[in-house]
Amino acid sequence: MPALAAHLGTAARLSVKADAWTGLGLGGNKVRKLEYELAPPRLQGITDLVTGGGPHSNHCRVTAAAAARLGLGCTLVVNGEPDDERRGNARLHRLLGARIVTVADRVDRDWAMTEEADRIGAGGGRALVVPIGASTARGALGYVHALVELHTEAGKARPSIFTSSSSGGTLAGLILGCAILGWRPGLVGVSADETAAHVKETATGLAVSAARLLQDGDGRALVSRVLEVAEAVITTDDFVGPGYGNATPESDEAIALFGARAGVILDPVYTGKAAAAMIAWIRDGRIREGDHAIFLHTGGHPALFR
Ligand SMILES: *Cc1c(COP(=O)(O)O)cnc(C)c1O
């Protein structure tokens, strides 16, 4: 992103890790998580996927695309109606053939997902329930994989890696990857909704559980390295603004700058806010000449069109 760096007046190196283009159902970070959630041995005998989210959920979109590709049914438990089902992810959920069940509130989603799975079971099928956001220990392994790629791509540098963060699975995988490789880039998790403390706590918890999945026995050595990496992670909620999905002047500016100065299209819910954080760090000198800042682009483009 040399033109963006020049525009911002920084001699730092800026890069984008293009996880917006992960290749299934318009891509994004949920594809990497589903690669592990939907590993072939877990799909034996499965006829349907059941998951949930908001009416414009990226996770629901990618899960519906995966189901379609695998020849499985898909039920999405969605809290609330979209303002317009012909737009954004709400349109894509339908276009990808998902059956949509609407519940009144976020807190109703989990039991409704179980109920839908039971209903499928009673009808002779077998459902795999994919937890919301695929932010499980298993799903986080997708971002261990991404971190290994980043390590190769960054060369000898010790970059700062900026990622949007919400349910913490992405950040958890990055943390575990660093612990495994013994690599210590700066990790910056920029919240899209929750408090900074909550993001750090959930990401750390998921990274520890994922470490235990990888290790025989109690995995104590890896877990202690995970905790050491997690300790150094910076999470921030300074860019959430009025709340989840609501644009801020900083996110609007970041979307405009990445577009016009780098040809990189961001989204208003997640990546616009994470990019605003990276720009703020460049402007206040926390990223400076000789540094390498990597923006992990987690996707979310359909939110531009809702
Ligand atoms: C889900 C999502 C995130 C947040 O990822 P978590 O693993 O839940 O922290 C970030 N960006 C986009 C575009 C997403 O869809």
Cβ–Cβ < 8 Å for 19, 296: yes
What's the gap in Å between 41 CA and the centre of ligand 1? 26
Residue 134: how many CB atoms within 10 A of its CB? 26
Which ligand 1 atom minimizes the distance to the CA of 143? 7
Are the beta carbons of 167 and 133 closer than 8 angstroms? Answer: yes
Is the CB of residue 22 below 6 angstroms from any atom belonging to ligand 1?
Answer: no
pLDDT band at 217 (very low <50, low <70, confident <90, very high): low
> Could you tell me where the DSSP H helices lie in 54-136?
58-70, 88-95, 109-122
Whole-number Å distance between alpha carbons of 31 and 230: 24
Helices and strands (DSSP H and E) totals, the chain: 11, 9
Query: How many C-beta atoms surround the C-beta of residue 73 within 10 A?
Result: 17
CA-wise closest residue to 33 among 178, 146, 119:
146
Distance CA 211, CA 174 (A): 12
| pLDDT over threshold 70, residue 46 | yes
pLDDT band for 303, please (50, 70, 90 cuts). Answer: very high
Report the pLDDT value the prediction gives residue 219, as an integer from 0 to 100.
67
Residue 115: what residue type?
E
- Token pair, residue 59, equals 């996770």
pLDDT of 189-203, one tens digit each?
999 999 999 999 999
- pLDDT tens-place string over residues 112-148: 999 999 999 999 999 999 999 999 999 999 999 999 9
* Ligand 1 midpoint to CA 7 (Å): 28
Q: pLDDT value at position 220?
A: 79
Confidence (pLDDT) at 68: 98
pLDDT in tens, 47-93: 999 999 999 999 999 999 999 999 999 999 999 988 899 999 999 99
pLDDT, tens only, 161-192: 999 999 999 999 999 999 999 999 999 999 99
237: tokens are 């909620």
The verdict on the CB of residue 270 being under 6 Å from ligand 1 is: yes
Mutate to test the pocket of ligand 1, among 89, 298, 301, 304 (most ligand atoms within 8 A of CB): 298
- For residue 155, the model assigns a pLDDT of 86
The sign one gets for the Cα dihedral 259, 156, 149, 227 is negative
Helix ranges, 123-219 (H): 137-154, 169-181, 196-214
Question: What is the 3 state secondary structure string of 41-57?
Answer: HHHCCCCEEEEEECCCC
**Mean pLDDT (the chain, rounded):** 96
